[in-house]
A and B are shown apart, each in its own frame.
Chain A
């Protein structure tokens, strides 16, 4: 049995947070688990595992997707960005700082997904209205904050990033 399982695995290469990484994955391995367990980046969370909550959101070629609903083999030769890639040289990304400053998190479980969705949102639309933010994060559930402070944080970050454009 063990050898058959080995046979089914294949090499998956991704550019994750700018770095080339490789690992073996069965075709049925979901990207979220490949990122967490094979590549050891546990910032990406698995909440519902049923495509509902968005805690597992990562950027796939720049677009936020639910990594529990993508196969690792589909990510082969693609670019992935996770929450670990946001800070540079121990300085938080403006969105991370804004979530901190505005109490945009309580337990923090939804935060990695919220951040990745917001990063992509602000790249496409640097000055979103409150309604655009609320629609933009509608695939990410938060069971703690009631969203008000998350929306505040994203608005705050959009103002600050306008002053000093940050690299993502």
Chain B
């Protein structure tokens, strides 16, 4: 299987990328890891006449951690994130191994995943839970946007044709006692989620929830943040009773569709199970750090 013919450019600088985007407009597509775009082009679901391979923009493949947060280059591969260690952001390492399979993770990038905006994507759910924002650059301006605004619709983002997603920025969590889980139901290993639930919780010294993030994959037409459920958690003591209450709430948020991966009802049930399971594991983990 072959894509339709296209012209290929591998610019070395963002300026060259902007030049090509200005020249070709929406005939051009950016190529990052190629793990969503190339399969679509082979199936002729996409047929851009120009590909701009941004793989040589080295400065976009690393992360910098500061007191304010973690800034990740858009070209960081899933595999790099899986094997990195950022103790303040445990959700990243929890999530990465669930994406696709090891071979796809060796090429696919975090920026490509967000720009592709599949509602079932794992990074979408995790980064919403983390309250991430994105940095978008074009020749004329740099803009920052909450990830939630970046996801506009099914496979649709706020990116304009002349723009490049350059960085993903995660704010530092409220407390150092930050725990996370990513729970995913797949029909088979390496598949997209039937349902995915990303949970990050930061606890105060007395065990009350200082900050909570819950992101969901495949529970809506876009990656989805369960804000109601998050707000039920904040300021309260994490207990089995509270966990029961919020997991019921989580299953009522979102707007899942019945599809070949499962019925809407099944997805809601699994969201409830995952929120309960994830938070219970976090409670246990916190308790064990207390008794140690």
Contact = CB atoms under 8 A, between A and B. Distances in A.
Contact of A69 (B2, B39, B102, B189): B39
B34 A69 contact: yes
Nearest to A64: B103
B104 A139 contact: yes
B107 A27 contact: no
A138 to B, nearest CB: 5
A81 B107 CA distance: 16
A135 B98 CA distance: 10
Nearest to A27: B8
B107 A70 contact: yes
Nearest to B9: A27
Contacts of A27: 5-8, 51
A28 B106 contact: no
A140 B41 CA distance: 22
A71 interface: yes
Main secondary structure of the interface of B (DSSP, over half): loop
A66 B103 contact: yes
A136 B43 CA distance: 28
Given A27-B8, A138-B190, A54 B3 contact: no
Which range holds the interface residue count of chain B? 20 to 34
B245 interface: no
A73 B8 contact: yes
A49 B1 contact: yes
Nearest to A137: B102
B85 to A, nearest CB: 16
Contact of B103 (A28, A50, A135, A139): A139
A96 interface: no
Nearest to A59: B106
Nearest to A140: B103
Contacts of B153: none
Nearest to A51: B39
Contacts of A70: 34, 38, 107
A28 B102 CA distance: 24
B65 interface: no
A44 interface: no
A65 B106 contact: yes
Interface of B: 1-8, 10, 34-35, 38-39, 41-43, 51, 53, 55, 79, 97, 100-104, 106-107, 189-190
Given A50-B42, A63-B106, A138-B190, 12 more contacts: A8-B5, A27-B51, A28-B3, A64-B106, A65-B107, A66-B103, A69-B34, A70-B34, A73-B10, A73-B53, A74-B55, A139-B190
